[in-house]
Amino acid sequence: MPTPTERLTALRAALSGLGVDGFFLPRGDEHLGEYVPACAERLAWLTGFTGSAGLAVVLPKKAAVFSDGRYQVQMRQQVETSLWSVEHMYETPPPLWLAQHGRGLSIGFDPRSVSVREIEALEQAGCHMVALSCNPIDALWADRPPAPATPACLQPLALTGLETHAKIQTIAETLRKAGQDAVILPDPTSIAWLLNIRGRDLPFLPVVLCFAILHADATVDLFIDITRIDDAVRAHLGTAVRVHMPADMQQVLQTMHGKTVRLDTGRCPVWFASILRDVDATLVDGTDPCLMPRACKTPAELEGMRRAHLLDGIALCRFLCWVERNGIGQTEAAIADHLLALRRESALCIGPSFHTIAGSGPNAAIMHYAPTAEACSRVQEDAFLLVDSGGQYTCATTDVTRTIWMGTDAPPEEWKKQYTCVLKGLIALDQAIFPAGTHGYRLDPLARLALWKEGLDFDHGAGHGVGSCLSVHEWPLGFTRRPVLDPLYDRMVMTNEPGFYAPGSHGMRLENQMETCVAYKTETGDYLRFKTLTLAPIDTRGIMPECLTDAERNWLNSYHAHVLEQIGPHLAAEERGWLQRACAPL
């Protein structure tokens, strides 16, 4: 197996042979998604960094790896820093880094795995961006895994609440009103939602990897190996959906001469835009029209969310009871495995929604720490154990974090103050009332205010959208510090997850999932509130009760009473007794 130095040296030699000075390598694959198959983990192969968000830039004498605040500690642990500089992608954006180190150089990129918007930003850095005919990593990666090829399966109407033809008609009408002939859909989650299909191509995301073009005449070109579509799925898709082999995609795109085609420049690979421009199609930058309808859940999807959270809550409460009694000395990987095993006792659970984060002591300060049997620690006594996990259920997707104090003595007073501030942030965001259409970034400070008053903060968003048996991170929704202009409406599902992290010492995060509901109506429009879906007690041993207001204490006591009422009847006597104590009024 080549060393990190050998891999970087081999890539630089390959780039020289291709006539370019450098290479831009995003973590995403040809679909530009958060989750990628093993065969597309090119960034991990080259750099060693395994996080879910990031990129690398290789120049003749310099190389850098970029990611966001969740992965700054992890990058420094996984990347050979003598070869790579480690950068924060928002504090030092790649175009700025390239402007400083690569101005005037020719930088190669794979047009199938880089978005139109990314290339436009990089070209402004003064570099000459060169689309390569192939990804040079693939030729160097000797033991590259094969591409996944699981069969497509149906997501029944009882779970989606809306038939496929109705969704196609709705999106087609959006295109017609905008004067557009078609939209490019490279995102498998949009296609899964649109066509009511699912799959098992990815470890945590139940989709089949495919592409689609939706036309204003309410027909769809779907590009997927036809052997992955059985008779039942074919009958479900009907005559409005034409199924093509992926190799036919370029030929179909070339028939769109003179058409007005919508593509989301932030989420669509350059490859599509290049082919369409070559046939004189008119390209219009527009958000993927499936995103907002997908985010506003149907009544059937919301009912599925509630059903999944009941099942999830049963597993979580059994887990929390077990870990309090048996957790000290267990490996973090064993902790994660036990929780997943409890979830899988439900026939509706098809697996985890992401790699469980189970971090004890200093590992809890690594925001996206992912323990494995080969590399993890044992749960420490007198330390916080942070467990961030989720399940994929046939009816919904879940995501929840609890931080548990593992010890008989109370946590240090300073840690309790931090934990209490995190709880206050969770409650403040949960209790928000706001006009429909408010952008998520405007609510993000609610989760931080108590921390800010103590000179503390956390370097990740305060929450994100969640799919319905789809992605646990359903973009573009979220509570973020950056001014992302995606509005919140009724029937969306979000997470609420403030935290605090002291690198090398400890970390804490509390996370609930919430649905948006109408709080009240006015002459000027609806006002919304959140309704918590998650059903699991919050460890009260880290709380300073005297620092809570009466309203905050009442919220916690009311929440715990609800958890006990909903989950208690489903537990064995011993576990129910534990839950009664965990949910006792503060």
Are 305 and 275 within one domain?
no
Classify each residue of 543-575 as buried b or exposed e, where b means 16 or more C-beta atoms within 10 Å of its C-beta.
Answer: beeeebeeebeebbeebbeebbebbbeebeeeb
Are 429 and 553 within one domain?
yes
Counting the structural domains of the chain, the total is: 3
Classify each residue of 497-510 as buried b or exposed e, where b means 16 or more C-beta atoms within 10 Å of its C-beta.
Answer: bbbbbeeeebbbbb
Q: Which of 585, 543, 534, 586 is nearest to 563 (CA)?
A: 534
63 vs 217: CA distance, rounded Å: 48
Contact 22, 107 (CB under 8 A): yes
H or E stretch at 478: strand 478-479
Q: Can you tell me whether residue 331 is helix, strand or coil?
A: strand
Are 347 and 453 within one domain?
yes
Virtual CA dihedral for 406, 408, 409, 415, nearest 10 degrees? 20
Are 233 and 251 within one domain?
yes
What distance lies between CA 444 and its chain's CA centroid? 17
The whole-model pTM stands at 0.94
Contact 480, 496 (CB under 8 A): no
- Which of 94, 118, 140 terminates a domain? The answer is 140
Which residues, at least 6 apart from 448, have a Cβ–Cβ distance to it below 8 Å?
425, 457, 458, 462, 498
- Which of 294, 328, 363 terminates a domain? The answer is 294
Are 136 and 243 within one domain?
no
Are 469 and 325 within one domain?
yes
* 97 assigned to some structural domain: yes
The pLDDT of residue 292 = 95
- Which of 246, 262, 294 terminates a domain? The answer is 294
The pLDDT of residue 375 = 87
292 vs 255: CA distance, rounded Å: 29
Are 230 and 281 within one domain?
yes
302 vs 286: CA distance, rounded Å: 28
Q: pLDDT truncated to tens, each residue of the chain (586 aa)?
A: 799 999 999 999 999 999 999 999 999 899 999 999 999 999 999 999 999 899 999 999 999 999 998 889 899 999 999 999 999 999 999 999 999 999 999 999 999 999 999 999 999 888 999 999 999 999 999 999 999 999 999 999 999 999 999 999 999 999 999 999 999 999 999 999 999 999 999 999 999 999 999 999 999 999 999 999 999 999 999 999 999 999 999 999 999 999 999 999 999 999 999 999 999 999 999 999 999 999 999 999 999 999 999 999 999 999 999 999 999 999 999 999 999 999 999 999 999 999 999 999 999 999 888 898 888 999 999 999 999 999 999 999 999 999 999 998 999 999 999 999 999 999 999 999 999 999 999 999 999 999 999 999 999 999 999 999 999 999 878 999 888 778 999 999 999 999 999 999 999 999 999 999 999 999 999 999 999 999 999 999 999 999 999 999 999 999 999 999 999 999 999 999 999 999 999 9
Task: Domain of residue 207: give its range.
Answer: 153-294
Q: How many CB atoms lie within 10 A of CB 9?
A: 13
467 vs 201: CA distance, rounded Å: 17
Domain of 249: which CATH number?
Answer: 3.40.350.10
Q: How many CB atoms lie within 10 A of CB 61?
A: 8
The pLDDT of residue 475 = 82
